[in-house]
């Protein structure tokens, strides 16, 4: 058999090397957005919105019926105890008072005459007793009519703020019908609504942190320490939420009513030790447990199971599996494999 000369073999090797494709360059690391656990919005607790209310609010109305002829205060007026608030028409009450006074005078004259007759033994004691009883009844009726005259002027039972006007001039009001709502000076508190899924965790006496968007008209935010005073045992029929009242012992007794407040419960936050992550950070395949990608110091990723207790508009609420300061993949979790290196985009703040 004829052998190829050495030169021809070398040429064949060079030709084969020249015709083969060059090796493909390594794929660049995938770019992912990251987020540090415990930074920015990842560790905020649950916030509840509410408003400032007076602990005690009373409705004020006339004790007698009549036509409202004068309203002396408006909503938002600060009043003192005994200050006039409104008046009703007193013409009918004046006539009734005059009639009762005349009847009382007549009964007094009759009683005096019968006393003289009894002293002379012209009438019996029983006849005198009848006149004495009629006098007592007539005097009582006169006193009642006089009181009706006084009730025609409505005065503030205590100092406070008129929070609502419930009747207007010209309106005929019944006895006891609310005309004003009065928020007395005194304790202020915050009213919030708590969902039925959370109400079992809110207990009377629990500490709360209250932040106001404004304080006495100023732009600076005011913060107060509060305590849960009352938890309603019944849910609202429409919203299915429970009313909760939080007392503010250190707040000004004249803190404006209706201010918007934000409430959080540090005790619940500590119990949960929860963080909120973007929904895009959660990785799950099939029936596997939910997990997140942890970014190591050398930019390699590893998958770690986490406990997700709630998914809502704020993201995924994670209560176990993460430590503060760890870096997670916030976007791009579905494209990764364990152990690969990644390139970090700007972290999510």
Burial class (CB in 10 A: 0-12, 13-18, 19+), 21: exposed
Instruction: Supply the pLDDT for residue 88.
Output: 92
Tokens of 296: 């190591």
Residue linked to tokens 């005198």: 128
Give residue 82's pLDDT. 92
Where does 90-151 sit in CATH, by number?
A: 1.10.287.470
Distance CA 174, CA 155 (A): 17
Q: Please, what CATH class does the domain formed by 48-56+185-266 belong to? A: mainly beta
| Cβ atoms of 167 and 179 closer than 8 Å | yes
Q: What pLDDT is attached to residue 337?
A: 80
Distance between CA 60 and CA 180 in Å, rounded? 5
Q: How high is the mean pLDDT in each 10-residue block of the chain (349 residues)?
A: 54 54 64 71 66 88 92 91 92 82 91 90 90 91 84 90 90 93 86 88 90 60 86 90 91 79 80 70 77 84 82 74 80 77 67
Q: Any idea which residue has 């119990």 for tokens?
A: 271
pLDDT of 277 reads 80
Whole-model pTM? Answer: 0.52
Per domain, the residue ranges of the chain are 30-45+274-344, 48-56+185-266, 90-151
pLDDT of residue 349: 47
Q: What pLDDT sits at residue 274? A: 62
CATH of domain 30-45+274-344: 2.40.420.20
pLDDT at 218: 47
pLDDT at 43: 45
């Amino acid at each position: 058999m004829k052998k190829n000369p050495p030169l021809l073999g070398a040429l064949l090797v060079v030709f084969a090397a020249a015709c083969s494709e060059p090796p493909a360059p390594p794929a660049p690391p995938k770019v992912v957005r990251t987020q540090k656990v415990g930074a920015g919005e990842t560790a905020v607790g649950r916030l509840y919105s509410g408003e400032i209310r007076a602990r005690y609010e009373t409705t004020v109305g006339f004790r007698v019926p009549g036509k409202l002829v004068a309203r002396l205060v408006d909503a938002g007026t600060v009043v003192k105890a005994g200050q006039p608030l409104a008046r009703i028409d007193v013409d009918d009450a004046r006539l009734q008072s005059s009639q009762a006074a005349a009847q009382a005078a007549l009964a007094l004259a009759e009683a005096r005459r019968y006393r003289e007759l009894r002293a002379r033994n012209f009438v019996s004691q029983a006849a005198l007793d009848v006149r004495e009883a009629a006098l007592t009844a007539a005097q009582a009726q006169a006193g009642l009519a006089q009181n009706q005259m006084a009730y025609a002027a409505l005065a503030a039972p205590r100092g406070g703020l008129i929070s609502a006007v419930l009747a207007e001039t010209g309106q005929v009001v019944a006895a006891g019908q609310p005309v004003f709502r009065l928020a007395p000076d005194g304790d202020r508190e915050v009213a919030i609504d708590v969902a039925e899924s959370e109400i079992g965790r809110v207990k009377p006496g629990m500490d709360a942190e209250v932040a106001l968007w404004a304080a006495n008209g100023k732009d600076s935010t005011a913060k107060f320490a509060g305590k849960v005073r009352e938890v309603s045992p019944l849910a609202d029929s429409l919203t299915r939420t429970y009313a909760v009242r939080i007392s503010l012992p250190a707040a000004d007794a004249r803190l404006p009513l209706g201010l918007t407040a934000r409430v959080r419960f540090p005790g619940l936050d500590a119990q949960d030790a929860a963080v909120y992550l973007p929904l895009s950070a959660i990785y799950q395949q099939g029936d596997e447990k939910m997990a997140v990608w942890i970014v190591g110091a050398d930019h390699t990723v590893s998958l770690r199971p986490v406990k997700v207790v709630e998914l809502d508009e704020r993201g995924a609420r994670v209560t176990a599996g993460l430590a503060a300061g760890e870096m997670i993949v916030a976007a791009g979790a579905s494209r990764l494999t364990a152990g690969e290196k990644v390139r970090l985009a700007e972290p999510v703040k």
